[in-house]
């Protein structure tokens, strides 16, 4: 078997041969080609044509003396071409045999016919090279098995694995369906800054960058929340954004440092009404994007026909972590229970954060059917309204499906004085060494002082949503180019 370098050298020689013949191995060609999907679907019509032009990448090749068969792939489908010495224009057959390789992208002109084996095909009269492949494609079954190599060379992963192409097509369908559903419901899509002068909108460690012209540090967006709420102040009652967020934190099966998020806000609503809204949205999304197929995640069949269950945060801890009374347990006792459960909570500074770690590691993976977790501690919800009769509990919920946190929503805090108090508490935590806090944002507080209507907001993690819809356990399988350590 030839080495990669030997194959590459051979193809470079073929490239040079094409150039020496007066042709380009990468021509500027404006020919209109019929897609291979259209050709296959409307073959009877094209069979009547005198000639037809198609283009695609050679993905298979079979030589039979003075003839050959090759399969072309153009992104819409595959189609067979047939070349024969006495059927092709003078010199075309020899030129193909001398310079074409699997992986090359070519254009073919010919006529449609059906072979003796009843295979729809194109009888090749002439062809041109559109893009000469210098490196050989991986073998179909053995050439691209290393998982990290698949992520680094996603272009090859897509080319060689139709399941991967289908997965990212589903991702596009999901995002498109979400947009259509929200647009139909009267929401306005907007774009807000990715560079923030203040890191806010979520409890997370930010990426820091420096703006040369302004000579000022900025933060890559960890959440668009505080800008979207400014739009509520500005009189836009229903607003959403689908975009990238960045969090300078660990990488694991459900976390990537840059990720896609849908955030939406609606004036004159609260968390309770938005849970109803989100449940309806989700059921519509399943119908549109999943097209009625049985919904299975891992070994679990998930039902979206029943009403989503609602369980309190404290009840969840009781049910899965055997913490009988969250309100009564002390911070030290909770930390001890975390250690007993194998949860590392040493770096957590509050009772709510310890409980949140227990929830994430112990409780959440066991929640399979669509469930709203409600009544979440206020100290891990600095931008949410608290209940009037219980200030330690936020009017907030999480939507868990298949053990994944799919959505997070709450009744938005719109009291500027209370918001300032919470910002100051977060700043104190930052000074004490907790870098996963939301920072003081004076401009946002100023906007709140003009009056923000009561509102509900929610965020949906698109990547985890796609994991759920495509039955994937690793977030990197649903991100085209996931973050990897540089070589």
Q: Is the pLDDT of residue 436 over 80?
A: no
- Residues ≥6 apart with Cβ < 8 Å to 472: 167, 466, 478
Q: Is the pLDDT of residue 140 over 90?
A: no
- Strand segments, DSSP code E, in 379-437 are 386-387, 390-401, 404-411
- The predicted-structure confidence for 25-69, as pLDDT tens digits, reads as follows 999 876 778 999 999 999 999 988 889 999 999 999 999 999 999
Closest to 350 (Cα-Cα) out of 376, 318, 315, 322: 376
- CB burial of residue 359 (10 Å; 0-12, 13-18, 19+): buried
- The predicted-structure confidence for 154-173, as pLDDT tens digits, reads as follows 999 999 999 999 999 999 99
Among 283-297, 342-356, 367-381, the range with the most confident prediction by mean pLDDT is 367-381
Q: Is the pLDDT of residue 189 over 60?
A: yes
- Residues ≥6 apart with Cβ < 8 Å to 410: 271, 381, 383, 384, 385, 394, 395, 396, 397, 456, 457, 458
Average confidence score pLDDT of the chain: 93
| Integer Cα distance of 252 and 404 in angstroms | 13
| Integer Cα distance of 23 and 95 in angstroms | 12
| Integer Cα distance of 353 and 375 in angstroms | 15
Q: Is 405 annotated as a binding residue?
A: yes
- Structure-block tokens of residue 220: 């890559």
Domains and CATH numbers, the chain: 4-131 (2.40.50.140), 158-308+370-477 (3.30.930.10)
| Integer Cα distance of 95 and 151 in angstroms | 36
| Integer Cα distance of 284 and 288 in angstroms | 6
Per-residue confidence (pLDDT) for residue 88, from 0 to 100:
94
- The predicted-structure confidence for 468-485, as pLDDT tens digits, reads as follows 999 999 999 999 999 999
Per-residue confidence (pLDDT) for residue 426, from 0 to 100:
84
- Greater confidence (128 vs 49) lies with 128
Per-residue confidence (pLDDT) for residue 461, from 0 to 100:
96
Is residue 302 a contact partner of residue 402, using CB atoms and an 8 Å limit? yes
Q: Is the pLDDT of residue 1 over 70?
A: no
pLDDT band, residue 336 (cuts 50/70/90): very high
Q: Is the pLDDT of residue 141 over 60?
A: no
- Residue 470: which H helix or E strand, with range? helix 462-470
Q: What is the pTM of this model?
A: 0.91
Q: What are phi and psi of 70, to 5 degrees?
A: -145, 150
Beta bridge partners of 73: 57, 78
Q: Is the pLDDT of residue 316 over 80?
A: yes
Helix (H/G/I), strand (E/B), else coil: 114: strand
pLDDT band, residue 80 (cuts 50/70/90): very high
Per-residue confidence (pLDDT) for residue 202, from 0 to 100:
81
Q: How far is CA 89 from CA 84, 86, 130, 299, 487, in A?
A: 10, 8, 18, 57, 48
- Residues ≥6 apart with Cβ < 8 Å to 156: 137, 138, 144, 150
């Amino acid at each position: 078997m030839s080495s990669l370098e030997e194959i590459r050298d051979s193809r470079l020689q073929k490239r040079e041969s094409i150039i020496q013949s007066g042709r380009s191995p990468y021509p500027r060609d404006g020919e209109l080609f019929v897609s291979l999907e259209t050709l296959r679907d409307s073959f009877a019509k094209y069979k009547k044509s005198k000639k037809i032009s198609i283009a695609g990448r050679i993905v298979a090749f079979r030589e039979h003396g003075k003839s050959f068969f090759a399969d072309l792939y153009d992104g819409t489908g595959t189609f067979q071409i047939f070349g024969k010495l006495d059927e092709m224009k003078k010199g075309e057959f020899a030129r193909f045999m001398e310079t074409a390789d699997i992986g090359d992208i070519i254009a073919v002109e010919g006529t449609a016919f059906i072979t003796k084996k009843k295979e729809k095909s194109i009888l090749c009269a002439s062809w041109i090279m559109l893009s000469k492949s210098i490196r050989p494609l991986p073998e179909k079954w053995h050439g691209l098995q290393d998982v990290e190599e698949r992520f680094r060379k996603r272009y090859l992963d897509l080319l060689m694995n139709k399941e991967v192409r289908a997965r990212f097509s589903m991702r596009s369908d999901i995002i498109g369906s979400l947009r259509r559903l929200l647009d139909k419901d009267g929401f306005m899509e907007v774009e807000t800054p990715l560079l923030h002068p203040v890191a806010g909108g979520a409890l997370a460690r930010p990426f820091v960058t420096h703006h040369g012209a302004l000579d000022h540090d900025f933060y890559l967006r960890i959440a668009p929340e505080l800008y979207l709420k400014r739009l509520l102040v500005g009189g836009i009652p229903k607003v959403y954004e689908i975009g990238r967020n960045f969090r300078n934190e660990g990488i694991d099966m459900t976390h990537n440092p840059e990720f896609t998020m849908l955030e939406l806000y609606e004036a004159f609503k609260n968390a309770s009404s938005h849970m109803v809204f989100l449940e309806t949205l989700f059921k519509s999304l399943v119908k549109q994007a999943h097209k009625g197929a049985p919904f299975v995640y891992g070994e679990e069949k998930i039902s979206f026909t029943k009403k989503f269950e609602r369980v309190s945060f404290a009840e969840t801890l009781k049910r899965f972590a055997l913490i009988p009374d969250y309100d009564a347990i002390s911070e030290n006792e909770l930390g001890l229970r975390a250690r007993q459960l194998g949860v590392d909570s040493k770096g957590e500074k509050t009772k709510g954060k310890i409980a949140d770690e227990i929830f994430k590691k112990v409780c959440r993976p066991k929640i399979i059917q669509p469930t709203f977790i409600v009544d979440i501690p206020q100290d891990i919800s600095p931008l949410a309204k608290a209940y009037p009769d219980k200030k330690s509990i936020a009017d907030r919920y999480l939507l868990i499906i298949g053990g994944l946190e799919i959505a997070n929503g709450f009744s938005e805090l719109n009291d500027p004085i209370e918001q300032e108090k919470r910002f100051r508490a977060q700043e104190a935590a930052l000074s004490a060494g907790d870098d996963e806090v939301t920072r003081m944002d004076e401009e946002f507080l100023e906007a709140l002082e003009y009056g923000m209507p009561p509102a509900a907001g929610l965020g949906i993690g698109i990547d985890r949503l796609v994991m759920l819809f495509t039955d994937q356990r690793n977030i990197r399988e649903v991100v085209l180019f996931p973050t990897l350590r540089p070589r």
